[in-house]
Amino acid sequence: MILDIMQKEAEETKSAEEIPLKILAHNSLVGRLIGKEGRNLKKIEQDTGTKITISPLQDLTIYNPERTITVKGSIDACSNAEAEIMNKLREAYENDIVAVNQQANLIPGLNLNALGIFSTGLSMLPSGAGARRPAVSAPYNPFANQAAYLSSLYGALPTGAYPHQHSLPEQEVVNLFIPMQAVGAIIGKKGQHIKQLARFAGASIKAQGRIFGKLKEENFFNPKEEVKLEAHIKVPSSAAGRVIGKGGKTVNELQNLTSAEVIVPRDQTPDENEEVVVKIIGHFFASQTAQRKIREIVQQVKQQEQKHPQGAPASQRNK
């Protein structure tokens, strides 16, 4: 109805310009609207007979986290496209709420707003893997308020997204791999940035977040790419089977839940500490959720081993 009124007004004023439909959407949702290699957006255009463009990332500021989706076509075509666009945006938003509620027990006290990495959005088109080398290893210490995640993204705190107290290991080591050409930027002029990262000792999540953010800030990933990095964490070999699950069920569920690629090499030889490496590849949010979930599984295995140190055979404990 609004488009119809605008069109009539344009005709009465003899405006020669086409009257487009413009929709504002938070940048953190736009990547999923676009879809991998632009497939979602192309499908909406084809299904509705419209031309859809999205304002560039460069237009975003700390005060304006929204991008403009411009739809051009007939009134009916624009209305149909609007319905499909809003369905995609709502689906992305609701998925975020589900993810936050699911990770309330996985990442206690996480404040993604404090990381300063979402000004350019959480989800954009994925990037290809490039040459990588280790960037940082940092211990973990829960901090701030996890419930601020959706608040930081949308300016509103969803019902039920409250932090839960949950015991995790006091210390963890994560090897984060970055593009070779980005090493200088991570170190910073006269080592300033790496010194800043060192201040986050005891806060693995925040240190990793700053690295993801720095790579985006320094344009090592183009505006249509999200920052996807590879992280390595070590787990006891006795827990590797539980991370994989019967027939790979657990690791598949983990990948579906987090959107991260999780690789647990089955034929890996344990190191001197009887640990094996688990590889996690994905954007920051996906990587952190996968890390927390895997550490939760490890904790469960350790607790079972403490209760039954010699009672259960190794084959049972490794299932």
- pLDDT reported for residue 186: 85
Domain with CATH 3.30.1370.10 in the chain: 2-99
Instruction: Read off the DSSP letter of residue 90.
Output: H
Instruction: Read off the DSSP letter of residue 157.
Output: P
The pTM score is 0.49
- pLDDT reported for residue 63: 63
Handedness of CA 88, 91, 96, 99 (dihedral sign): negative
- pLDDT reported for residue 311: 52
Residue-by-residue pLDDT tens, the chain, 319 positions: 888 888 888 888 876 677 889 999 988 788 889 888 888 999 999 999 999 999 887 777 656 778 899 999 999 999 999 999 999 999 988 877 776 665 555 445 544 444 433 333 333 323 333 444 444 444 433 333 344 444 444 444 333 433 343 444 457 789 999 888 888 888 888 787 887 777 665 677 778 888 888 888 788 887 667 889 999 999 999 899 999 988 889 998 888 877 889 998 878 899 998 999 999 998 888 888 889 889 889 998 888 888 877 555 544 445 4
Fold type of domain 108-317: TATA-Binding Protein (3.30.310)
Q: Report the amino acid identity of residue 258.
A: T
- pLDDT reported for residue 89: 92
Domain with CATH 3.30.310.210 in the chain: 108-317
What number does CATH give the domain 2-99? 3.30.1370.10
Cβ atoms of residues 215 and 292 within 8 Å: no
Distance CA(47)–CA(56), nearest Å, equals 24
Cβ atoms of residues 116 and 158 within 8 Å: no
CA distance readout (Å), 45 to 7, 39, 203, 234: 21, 10, 44, 45
